[in-house]
Amino acid sequence: MSKLVPPHGGKGLTTCLLEGDELAAEKKKAEGLRKITISPRVKGDLIMLGIGGFSPLTGFMNKADWKGVCDNFLLAGGTFWPVPVCLDVSKEDAYAISEGDEIALYDSKYDEILATMKVTEKYEMTQKDKEYECEKVFMGEGTPTAQEFWKIAKDDHPGVQMVMNQGEFNLAGPVKVLSESHYPKTYAGIYHRPAESRKVFEERGWSEVAALQLRNPMHRSHEYLCKIAVEVCDGVYIHSLVGNLKPGDIPAEVRVKCIDALVKNYFVEQFVVQGGYPLDMRYAGPREGLLHAVFRQNYGCSKMIIGRDHAGVGDFYGMFEAQTIFDKIPYAKEACPTPGQALECQPLKIDWTFYCYKCDGMASLKTCPHGKEDRVLLSGTMLRKLLSEGGELPDHFGRDEVIEILRQYYEGVTDKVEIKLHGAATGDDKK
């Protein structure tokens, strides 16, 4: 009997990835179906549906699920879910498809059919519907009114841009996944299915596992967060996004090298596991923090490390809004009465962390009494900006081994992207 937290939804790991004879037969059938080209974001969602990362989902959401998630964080059946998982298509494709049809979901970049899907519902997403989704999912305390939000969101929020650029219709229905694309090969040893990470944790005898979400290279603050988690749990799962990021972010293979260097030199390796997952960032701040907790529960983690500005972008969210949202959502058993429907992965809330010269070590706002002038404020955005511009990093910003890997990467970058700083990167709103 596993001691790990059960998968979300109360149905075990719901995997849609086919194997063996069933896979071969479905691939053959897929060649004769209408092909629908999918976006990179949908591709990541599809693979997560395949490997059980999005348990208990087995396909793309219908209108009732979409609205329930936007309004109440709940699927129509009462299971907690924080972010829509939808398949968008153009008006032309939608008019050519009827409910009951089977279609093939096609990745044009790799010239591969990734899945088949039976269409159970087709619903229009008007401009108003898209705006509604954006306000519900992406609007945070940093822009408390819709007027303030839209003044900057269309130009500065990549998640909003993604939704507003979607096709005019959504298709709902169960999927049969035929491939995990290039991820198992490109990230061999790092890319995990939930069943694989669970097996590793069980072999180590772990029951309480904390996950660290990572989209930036690990700096001293990330290291400190992990070490706090190791002290209070059986181990930590450093779980990196290996899907698409926004321009200017550092590629997954570089981040993996940085994590390897840190774990090898600064951790007791038996208490750390490194993994990767295939989603694109949505930059949905608090809502994405909840999504991270949902699928980390499926990967076997009972705790989700939530620090400052988790999954944020710009100044759209309050610094600790991704922590407080866990106290406001209907994930409790009263709202989700059926066993397994409530979110069981809980937040490990940690304050703003930094290196303090007077404390002579890593500290947080809860443990350090000194002023801003004595602190090295750490952020992935600041790290990327300084390195991309050839600037010098302050002492104690990062480990030498990691900084050297990043400098080598930036020396080979020819197309530089301007990196904007914001409150989370500069600490301007902190004492």
Share of the chain above pLDDT 70, in %: 94
Residue-wise pLDDT for 68-88, tens only, equals 999 999 999 999 999 999 999
Q: Please determine, for residue 380, whether its predicted confidence score (pLDDT) is greater than 70.
A: no
Q: Please determine, for residue 417, whether its predicted confidence score (pLDDT) is greater than 70.
A: no
Residue-wise pLDDT for 332-374, tens only, equals 556 677 889 999 999 999 999 999 999 999 999 999 999 999 9
Share of the chain above pLDDT 90, in %: 78
pLDDT band per the 50, 70, 90 thresholds, residue 395:
confident
Higher pLDDT, 218 or 231: 231
Q: Are 413 and 278 in contact, with CB atoms under 8 Å apart?
A: no
Residue-wise pLDDT for 221-270, tens only, equals 899 999 999 999 999 999 999 987 667 778 888 888 999 999 999 999 99
Of 193, 215, 255, 384, which is the active-site residue? 215
Supply the pLDDT for residue 430.
46
The yes-or-no answer on residue 216 being catalytic is yes
The yes-or-no answer on residue 170 being catalytic is no
Q: Please determine, for residue 144, whether its predicted confidence score (pLDDT) is greater than 60.
A: yes
Q: Please determine, for residue 109, whether its predicted confidence score (pLDDT) is greater than 80.
A: yes
Q: Please determine, for residue 420, whether its predicted confidence score (pLDDT) is greater than 70.
A: no
Of 170, 216, 220, 308, which is the active-site residue? 216
For domain 20-125+166-181, the CATH superfamily is Sulfate adenylyltransferase (3.10.400.10)
Its CATH class, for the domain covering 191-277+281-431, is: alpha beta
Question: Domain map of the chain by residue range?
Answer: 20-125+166-181, 191-277+281-431
Mean pLDDT throughout 33-53? 98
Supply the pLDDT for residue 431.
40
Q: Please tell me the pTM assigned to this model.
A: 0.92
Averaged pLDDT of the chain: 92
